[in-house]
Amino acid sequence: MKSSNVIYHQASVTRKRRNKLNNHRSIVLWFTGLSGSGKSTLAHALEEKLFQKGCRTFVLDGDNVRHGLNSNLDFSEASRTENIRRISEVSKLMLESGLIVMTAFISPIKKDRNEAKKLISSDDFIEIYCKASLEACESRDVKGLYKRARAGEIKNYTGIDSPYEVPENPGLIIDTDNQSLEDSVSAILNFLELNEIIK
């Protein structure tokens, strides 16, 4: 519950001024998809290209965030919702700071992604669906988590005994089953240039 004694402070250095200094628009690129669909790999590869172009960026990675900010959350439905809520709030702050923010989270529940979009604003939120079959994701199971989930060692694992709700109308679909990493990054860069987010 918010205190009635907390008053929002309006800074003189605004997002608009930061964007002008950065020479690019700040934005949240929300990568979603099954575990193993290539979200983190794609986000970090994209960040490298953007960094080389002089863009100010940051990747919020699902595993990394759960080591710190969200280390007190489990994988129950309530905790997953809270996980996404916190990430949304952090993303919004980073957006205001002038960054191109890339979030790489399974974020399996459509309602949670919609709430993130609502909080951040539809103009500043681009949902990128990393489309990959469950079979392909299991074949890339570098952490061995799908195998453990199949064996019943991990409960509520997305794609096995917990659902993934496919985005209905994402800003961009990257078919990581059939597109190379290089082609996937190029597709996103082209999208960002077309939409005048970067130059």
Catalytic residue among 40, 107, 162, 184: 107
Residue 197 in tokens:
């987010």
Residue 58 in tokens:
């940051």
How far is residue 22's CA from residue 7's CA, in Å, rounded to a whole number? Answer: 29
How far is residue 42's CA from residue 171's CA, in Å, rounded to a whole number? Answer: 16
CA 112 to centroid of chain Cα atoms: 12
> Which segments of 27-120 does DSSP mark as H helices, in order?
39-52, 62-65, 77-96, 110-120
Q: DSSP letter at 152?
A: T
Catalytic residue at 107? yes
Exposure letters 19-38 (e unless 16+ CB within 10 A, then b):
beebebbbbbbbbbbbbbbb
- Active-site positions read 107
